[in-house]
Structure 1
Amino acid sequence: MNRKTRLATALVAGGVLTAGAVAVTAPAIAGAGPFGNPSVSTSWSGPVSGMGPGAAGNDMGRAGNGMGTASRDGSCLYPSADAPSGTLSEQQKATLAAMAQEEKLAGDLYRAFADEYPAVVFDRIAAAEDQHLAAVRTLLDRYGLSDPTADQPAGQFSDPAVQATYDRLLAEGLTSQSAAFGVGQQVEQADIDSLQQALTGLSAADVTRVYQHLLAASQHHLTAFTTWATR
């Protein structure tokens, strides 16, 4: 599908786009997971600073808390779930399932942008998101939870609200490479907000470890997108 066709499809599916601050649509899992807790504001405009190196390149640096590494281009290594399992509340289970959708949404968006634009940051962070999704899927399997992203092709989501969010952000990012960097900033900031809230009251060591890694990685990715946006 070429750029114009993809853009038209996304505009139809995602509705009218507005300039300025963007509020990310909540998924059908009410009050759970990325983009889905109404008590957390996910509207913002402009770049937000975060952790990680401030320049693109291939040098490796720690991504936080000794739970993986991240490179200056925004890529990072597989987050480990090698920690004791624990007990999750129903809310925490719903949040974990929603995390899988958020990681897939981010990876699918960045891969679509990588197909459209020359900036290497999209492809490299998309690969990192694939690794994050694999870690979340490991946890879903460990806790006997259904994976909402199973058997879903790129750009497709079983949750209509997540699908609408993806379509809207895809349409926005396909307007220009600069806009795509902005979408990356939005997605990573929303992920940071969600992960910080998800960690509150969480006692399961394995889930905590993965969330902490994902949080550090999202902060690093946010810095990478901000750096590319200001070049």
Structure 2
Amino acid sequence: MMTITRRAATLMAAGTLGLGGLAVAAPALAGNGPFGPGPSSTTIANPGYGMGSGHRMGSGYRTGPGDGVCDRLTVTAQQGTLSAAQKATLVAMAQEEKLAHDLYAVFAARYDAVVFDNIVRAESQHQTAVRTLLQRYGITDPTANQPAGVFTDKAVQATYDKLLAQGRQSLAAALAAGQQVERDDIAALKAAATGLTAPDVKQAYTNLLAASQRHLNAFTRWATR
């Protein structure tokens, strides 16, 4: 059994955006957030990533470069224009980031594997970033006010349910599910960059792609331990 402290920390991480709340300060909502205009670069820092965690079997694994830690997301580019198709893609990105966050939150609570704790925090930041872009471009957020594990897109819901059932079988199965999510995200982000001219969205997708690649590497390392 995990300690009460660890379980509480996991639930706090899972609840950051799992209920559709926007964990952004008031200035961000006014356009000065992760992707708002300004003379200097905007960063989204990842606090608390130096936390260690003991593996359930006593292996003593601790947070490190192989555990999916993302230092920060930085966007210095300005707002551009998006086509209707690109706006739809941004909506899909919001769904994908929520799927990853909600799925990893369940696995973080179920398994004593610090890789899920770390990556679910990163996914919270990714959700915030995408939601801020949605607001900036005047696009309705499909994840707003949606409980954890609930999606407005039926295909996304079916994917989530399938991966959740898979990951509940074992830690190995959960890591495999995480790898699949990140592979799908990488493919989607690469496709989304095609023909994209909006500087801020393009830079955001580049950052998210790099993060997904780190997450995939982290899940792969844990799967081979």
Candidates 172, 191, 198, aligned match of 1:178:
172
Candidates 120, 123, 127, aligned match of 1:126:
120
Candidates 104, 111, 121, aligned match of 2:105:
111
Alignment-mate amino acid for residue 187 of structure 1: V
Query: RMSD of aligned C-alpha atoms?
Result: 1.3
Hey, what does 1:187 align to over in structure 2?
181
Alignment pair present for 1:159 and 2:153? yes
CA distance in 2, matches of 1:106, 1:125: 9
Per-residue CA deviation, residues 165-194 of structure 1 (Å, 9 max, x unaligned), is: 111110001010000000000000000001
The unaligned stretches of length 5 or more in structure 1 are 1-55, 60-70
Alignment-mate amino acid for residue 200 of structure 1: T
Hey, what does 2:142 align to over in structure 1?
148
What TM-score does the superposition give when structure 2 sets the normalisation length?
0.71
Number of residues of Structure 1 aligned to a counterpart in Structure 2: 165
CA distance in 2, matches of 1:225, 1:111: 15
Question: For 1:72, what is the secondary structure of its paired residue?
Answer: helix
Alignment pair present for 1:230 and 2:197? no
Hey, what does 1:220 align to over in structure 2?
214
Candidates 173, 190, 193, aligned match of 1:196:
190
Report deviation, 1:72. Answer: 3.3
Alignment-mate amino acid for residue 137 of structure 1: R
Report deviation, 1:79. Answer: 2.0
Report deviation, 1:80. Answer: 3.1
Per-residue CA deviation, residues 5-59 of structure 1 (Å, 9 max, x unaligned), is: xxxxxxxxxxxxxxxxxxxxxxxxxxxxxxxxxxxxxxxxxxxxxxxxxxx8545
CA distance in 2, matches of 1:81, 1:156: 29
Question: For 1:80, what is the secondary structure of its paired residue?
Answer: strand
Name the stretch that deviates more: 82-91 or 92-101: 82-91
Question: For 1:107, what is the secondary structure of its paired residue?
Answer: helix
CA 1:149 to 1:78, structure 2 compared with 1: closer, same or farther past 3 Å? Answer: farther
CA distance in 1, matches of 2:155, 2:186: 20
Hey, what does 2:77 align to over in structure 1?
83
CA distance in 1, matches of 2:79, 2:158: 34
Per-residue CA deviation, residues 89-127 of structure 1 (Å, 9 max, x unaligned), is: 111000001100000000100010011111110111011
What TM-score does the superposition give when structure 1 sets the normalisation length?
0.69
Please say if residues 66 and 221 of structure 2, whose CA atoms lie closer than 8 Å, have aligned partners that are also in contact: no
Hey, what does 1:45 align to over in structure 2?
none
Alignment pair present for 1:99 and 2:58? no
CA distance in 2, matches of 1:113, 1:84: 36
